[in-house]
Amino acid sequence: MNEQATFKDHATLADKFNADEPRVNWHDKTLWFIREKRDRAAWQLAEWETLRETASKIKDNVLSNLPTYLEQFEAQAKANGVTVHWAADAAEHNAIVHSIIKKQGVTRIVKSKSMLTEECHMNEYLAKQGIDVIDTDLGERIVQLAGEPPSHIVLPCIHWKKEEIGQLFHEHLGTPKGMADPQFLTAAAREHLRERFLTSPIAITGVNFAVAETGEVVVCTNEGNADLGVQLADVHIACMGIEKLIPQRQHLGVFLRLLTRSATGQPITTYSSHFRKPRVGQEMHIVLVDNGRSTRLGSDDFRNALKCIRCGACMNTCPVYRRSGGHSYHYAIAGPIGSILAPGLDMKKHADLPFASTLCGSCSNVCPVKIDIHDQLYKWRQVLAKEGHVSSTKKIGMQGMAAVLSRPGVYNIAGAAGRWFMKHLPFVVNNRLNPWYKQREMPAVPKQAFREWYKENRKK
Amino acid sequence: MTVGLFIPCYIDQFYPQVAIASLELLEKHGVNVVFPERQTCCGQPMANSGFEHLTHSSNELFIDNFSGFEYIVSPSGSCALHVKDHLHADKREHEATAIRGRIMELTEFLVDVLHVKTLPANFPHRVGLHQSCHGQRGLKLAQMSELVAPPFSKSEQLLRMVGGLELIPLDRRDECCGFGGTFCVAEEAVSAKMGKDRIADHIQHGAEYITGSDMSCLMHLEGILRRQNSNVKAVHIAEILNGNVNA
């Protein structure tokens, strides 16, 4: 498939999403409901802002001492009997996972939620190798059956209505047509997944936190699917980005309190599972993945994004995300955090994402580890413009604007300027088919500009 | 006290009444106001589009116009924030630094510097306050709903001094309106939808007027209101506080 020909940017995909306004309203309200739940959960802790600050400082420490913590973690994990692998990029990660599976000679495996494996497009890679990966998180299974990527990192199928899930299950799992009762559908999914759990000798999980002190990894789920997969399998493969480290087990006392309150407004996930060593007869592997992270660590402006604990709060609060949907971001991680992560991996492909924001700043305020998300969006814009990743129309418009606005004489003649402004501000992007006018009236041009009034009324 | 009045370019050209109200409001409180006439634009439209490197000349011009004032006051939180965060000049960094420390948004100046306690204004209407993001989350003109922290709002404090004015509640007290500079055209669909939703929240609570301290947000909302043939009007807070809304 020609990627160039089929690529659609955020604005185009968002425009498509907005063709169905009632659905946009529903999507917006669903996510806003979660934002409100998050607010209520946060307000129950008087020390909420202190917790955020503490989490931010712990992550700062981790990033500043990452090599030390990684080596400590590796040594501890090895001492626990775990095999540790290092992957420089997505391809290496996928090859490592594949080699472990191949050794077992199996073609069907289960996987609990892992954004890292989404980032690495592991499922697609393994499918090409003839290996069928079943996502066991209910939301992920739903989008998997639909042949879609997740639209949200915590709520993968938040863009699906229950009636649509009923239809999907009818087609794939044989549930009665028209059945949309969530409890019934969940039971059907459970039955379908149970068979896969029981017959899969390999379980892949993601990692929420990796403790350097003990070499253990912690996986947070609401469905217990990580536990079930791992406990029934002969081999456990845990895949993680190198930034997932925390120094000590006691720091979980900060992060576990923040994670789910920020994500869904629950005090904690139903399961916080600690995996430290393989049980007798089991193999446990941890794959540590860089994939651009150490490059980012070297950037003063953007390293901070590595503090992310993948709670999704920035998506739920983002007024643009709520009204454009996760798929409009065309990257494994959508929303504000995805928009500052994606250009780090491929600037050209994701050049549109930092512009898919009004820079309202709500994302930075809900972030439990205080990532300066909206400032980084601004900074990415500067990088992208300098590196030539914005359209030449926009560039020429901006140059013209800069020329007029920095010359008071020209500005005044253009004064008359009202007419110049009508054409250029804020309509510099495209004044052939003025997008402002599609749903908005233009401001009326007054008899005189303020500067003329000032001359007549204050300078006499 | 002499204050340099910084009027954003689009207010100068499209909303002179907002600039006049700001000027008169400051004068009423005994401030000597000067409008440096060679001012144009702070450079924000370029910078937010990724072209901060094209703003050197507008930065120089801004410094030419505003160096030396005790305070620089602007009826726009967004433009004031841009100057505060991004005004730099290679050879005149000390002047730029001084300006960054002295620029204030109008309501901030009225509350924090002039300590305004009463206003001789009446506005017997139901008014919704749109807290613009850059003023609120950038300049901290009001508490942000995301934080677990005590509430305050400088705009609200001033509006409560206006006779007969009834402030209506909103479901989402600090949701963005979707203007966002060039976002409003580059992401037309989402921008317009955000604006429509913002307006619906106000109308649902019976607002006759939508006000705020950023005319750019209000220009966007006004454009949608007029397209909808709505009776609801968008007015800048300076017009209400100065008691001269042209309804």
Q: Is B237 helix (H, G, I), strand (E, B) or coil?
A: helix
- Closest to A136 in 3D by CA, of A174, A195, A193: A193
Weakest mean pLDDT among A149-158, A226-235, A387-396, B149-158: A387-396
Position A98 pLDDT exceeds 80: yes
Query: What is the mean predicted confidence (pLDDT) over B37-62?
Result: 92
Contact list, A445 vs chain B (CB under 8 Å):
13-14
CA angle B51, B7, A395 (to 5 degrees): 15
Kindly write down the DSSP assignment for every residue of A350-401, as one continuous string: TTTGGGS-----HHHHH-TT---HHHHHHHHHHHHHHTT-S-HHHHHHHHHH
pLDDT tens, residue by residue, A7-25: 899 999 999 999 999 999 9
Reduced 3-state DSSP string for B201-215? HHHHCCCCEEEECEH
What's the first-to-final CA gap in chain A, in angstroms? 70
- For chain B, the average pLDDT equals 96
Position B35 pLDDT exceeds 80: yes
Position B133 pLDDT exceeds 70: yes
* pLDDT category of residue A274 using cuts at 50, 70 and 90: very high
- For chain A, the average pLDDT equals 93
Query: What is the mean predicted confidence (pLDDT) over A369-393?
Result: 95
pLDDT tens, residue by residue, A192-221: 999 999 999 999 999 999 999 999 999 999
CA atoms within 13 A on the CB side of A299: 18
Query: What is the mean predicted confidence (pLDDT) over B184-192?
Result: 95
pLDDT at position A405, please? Answer: 82
Chain A: give the shortest CA distance to residue B182, in Å. 6
| Domains located in chain A, CATH noted | 19-160+201-294 (3.40.50.10420), 392-458 (no CATH)
* pLDDT category of residue A419 using cuts at 50, 70 and 90: low
* pLDDT category of residue A420 using cuts at 50, 70 and 90: low
User: Please, are residues B205 and B169 in contact by the beta-carbon 8 Å criterion?
Assistant: yes
Domain ranges of chain B: 2-113, 126-241
Chain A: give the shortest CA distance to residue B140, in Å. 11
Kindly write down the DSSP assignment for every residue of A70-81, as one continuous string: HHHHHHHHHHTT
Q: What is the percent of chain B where pLDDT is above 70?
A: 99
CA dist., res. B173 & res. B128, Å (int): 10
Residues comprising chain B, all counted: 247
Residues comprising chain A, all counted: 460
CA dist., res. B70 & res. A194, Å (int): 72
pLDDT at position A443, please? Answer: 85
The DSSP bridge pattern shows strands A108-111 and B2-5 to be: unpaired
Position A430 pLDDT exceeds 50: no
pLDDT at position A212, please? Answer: 98
Q: Do B187 and A317 touch (CB under 8 A)?
A: no
User: Please, are residues B22 and B213 in contact by the beta-carbon 8 Å criterion?
Assistant: no
Position A3 pLDDT exceeds 90: no
- ipTM of this complex prediction, to 2 decimal places: 0.97
pLDDT at position B245, please? Answer: 84
Query: What is the mean predicted confidence (pLDDT) over A129-135?
Result: 97
pLDDT at position A429, please? Answer: 41
Q: In what order do the strands lie in the sheet with A271-275?
A: A245-246, A209-211, A216-221, A271-275
CA dist., res. A100 & res. A415, Å (int): 71
Q: Do A15 and B189 touch (CB under 8 A)?
A: yes
Token pair for B238: 């300076």
Helices and strands, number each (H, E), in chain B: 13, 8
Residue appearing with tokens 């990684």: A70
Position A5 pLDDT exceeds 80: no
Give CA separation, A212 vs A68, A87, A248, in Å: 9, 18, 6
Residue appearing with tokens 């946060």: A42
pLDDT at position A44, please? Answer: 97
Position A2 pLDDT exceeds 60: no
Q: Give the DSSP H/E element, type plus range, for residue A36.
A: helix A21-43
Position B232 pLDDT exceeds 90: yes
Residue to mutate among B3, B5, B14, B173, with most A CBs inside 10 A, is B14
Helices and strands, number each (H, E), in chain A: 24, 10
CA dist., res. A79 & res. B167, Å (int): 65
Query: What is the mean predicted confidence (pLDDT) over B141-165?
Result: 97
Chain B: give the shortest CA distance to residue A453, in Å. 8
Weakest mean pLDDT among A88-97, A100-109, A241-250, A442-451: A442-451
Encode B57-93: b = buried (16+ Cβ within 10 Å), e = exposed: ebbbbbbebbbebebbbbbbbbbbbbbbbbbebeebe
Contact list, A429 vs chain B (CB under 8 Å):
182, 185-186
Kindly write down the DSSP assignment for every residue of A4-35, as one continuous string: HHH---HHHHHHHHTTSHHHHHHHHHHHHHHH
Q: Do B190 and A28 touch (CB under 8 A)?
A: no
Weakest mean pLDDT among A11-15, A75-79, A148-152, A426-430: A426-430
User: Please, are residues A324 and A17 in contact by the beta-carbon 8 Å criterion?
Assistant: yes
Domain B126-241 has CATH 3.40.50: yes
pLDDT at position A427, please? Answer: 47
User: Please, are residues A424 and A434 in contact by the beta-carbon 8 Å criterion?
Assistant: no
Q: Where are the beta strands (DSSP E) in B35-124?
A: 71-74, 103-105
* pLDDT category of residue A140 using cuts at 50, 70 and 90: very high
Position A414 pLDDT exceeds 70: no
Position A457 pLDDT exceeds 80: yes
Position A415 pLDDT exceeds 60: no
pLDDT at position A74, please? Answer: 98
Residue A376 in contact with partner chain B when CB distance is under 8 A? no
User: Please, are residues B52 and B78 in contact by the beta-carbon 8 Å criterion?
Assistant: no
Residue to mutate among A405, A429, A456, A458, with most B CBs inside 10 A, is A405
Higher pLDDT: B44 or A426? It is: B44
pLDDT tens, residue by residue, A323-336: 999 999 999 999 99
pLDDT at position A383, please? Answer: 97
Q: What is the percent of chain A where pLDDT is above 90?
A: 85
Query: What is the mean predicted confidence (pLDDT) over B39-54?
Result: 91
User: Please, are residues A310 and A334 in contact by the beta-carbon 8 Å criterion?
Assistant: no
- Closest to A217 in 3D by CA, of A226, A225, A208: A208
* pLDDT category of residue B20 using cuts at 50, 70 and 90: very high
What's this model's pTM, rounded to 2 decimal places?
0.95
Q: Do A11 and B48 touch (CB under 8 A)?
A: no
